[in-house]
Amino acid sequence: MSGDLKWNKIFGAGLGTAFAILVVQQVSSAIFAPHPPEKMGYFVDAPEEAAGGAAEAELPPDWGTLLPVADLAAGEAAFARCVACHTINAGGANGIGPNLYGVVGGPVMHSAGFAYSDAMAAHKGEAPVWTYDELDRFITAPQRYVAGTKMSFAGLRDTPTRVNLIAYLRAQGSTGYAIPAPDPARQPGAAAAPAGEAPAVEGTDATGAEAAAPVEGAAGQATTQATPVAPPSATSTPTGG
Ligand code: HEC
């Protein structure tokens, strides 16, 4: 009899333990139930930044003031981010992206023979010329500005870097594209300017644009000339000549 009782106790203790484990499992799974994430994976973007910028209505760069004093060497350094896909020398080959010689002030889809995306073609319909502002917006966030573009580049968010880069791009075949006159409406603190002073309409301010151009020319020449020309000493001359 006493043996039976002993086994009852052991069996009972085992049952109790098993029951306790079951309860703990149930309770913990109720507390720590796995919730599937609303978005899977990591999507890296900075929409808040864009939203914030839009809300503050950030002024576009004042090209007339900034380009003449831009740092072309820094712009060339910034262009290092582009060389994986773009050449910039005159007559340079199209790569993953089109050659960019003379793109500043040139037509959108300026490089004949490059297979642009439908998105870029649609963009050309809306904004046919790569003005300073257009280039600036595109380079800031290509995918956001031309949705569906096949330029898979995250963008350059730093404005001074973009200004230097655009000055460098301009020096490569676009020096004929005039720099606009300084625009007080784009200078810091201009938000408080009286609304009556409407910005000059393009074209009516031609004298101002012309006056600003030579100033830049002097600053821009030195680096423009740096583009090396093929050395004249050709070692392998083809037949003829
Ligand atoms: C990963 C490759 C890649 C990188 C890096 C890249 N681009 Fe592009 N870029 C392209 C492609 C591809 C296109 C054509 C886009 C299309 O057709 O939608 C393009 C188009 C352009 C255009 C329009 C040219 C035209 O003829 O209308 C400009 C301007 C441009 N890129 C500038 C830049 C600059 C400046 C940088 C560096 C800050 C840069 N890109 C970095 C691939 C690249």
**∠113-114-115 over CA atoms, to 5°?**
115
**Closest protein CA for atom 38 of ligand 1:** 82
Q: What is the pLDDT of residue 184?
A: 92
Q: How far is the CA of 2 from the centre of ligand 1 (A)?
A: 90
Q: Is the CB of 105 under 6 A from ligand 1?
A: no
| pTM for this prediction | 0.65
Enumerate the domain spans of the chain.
57-183
57-183 is a CATH 1.10.760.10 domain: yes
Residue whose tokens read 């995250």? 154
Q: How far is the CA of 238 from the centre of ligand 1 (A)?
A: 35
CB 131 within 8 A of CB 148: no
Q: Is the CB of 117 under 6 A from ligand 1?
A: yes
Count of CB atoms within 10 A of residue 54's CB? Answer: 9
CB 59 within 8 A of CB 190: yes
Torsion of CA 10, 11, 16, 22, to 10 degrees: 130
Q: Is the CB of 109 under 6 A from ligand 1?
A: yes
> Which residue type is seen at 46?
A
From first to last of its 241 residues, what are the pLDDT tens digits of the chain?
Answer: 556 778 788 788 877 787 888 777 777 666 666 565 555 555 444 444 444 444 345 789 999 999 999 999 999 999 999 999 999 999 999 999 999 999 999 999 999 899 999 999 999 999 999 999 999 999 999 999 999 999 999 999 999 999 999 999 999 999 999 999 999 999 877 655 454 444 444 444 444 444 444 444 444 444 444 445 555 554 444 544 4
Give the three-state DSSP class for 129. Answer: strand
Give the three-state DSSP class for 33. Answer: coil
CB 102 within 8 A of CB 170: no
CB 93 within 8 A of CB 87: yes
Q: How far is the CA of 24 from the centre of ligand 1 (A)?
A: 59
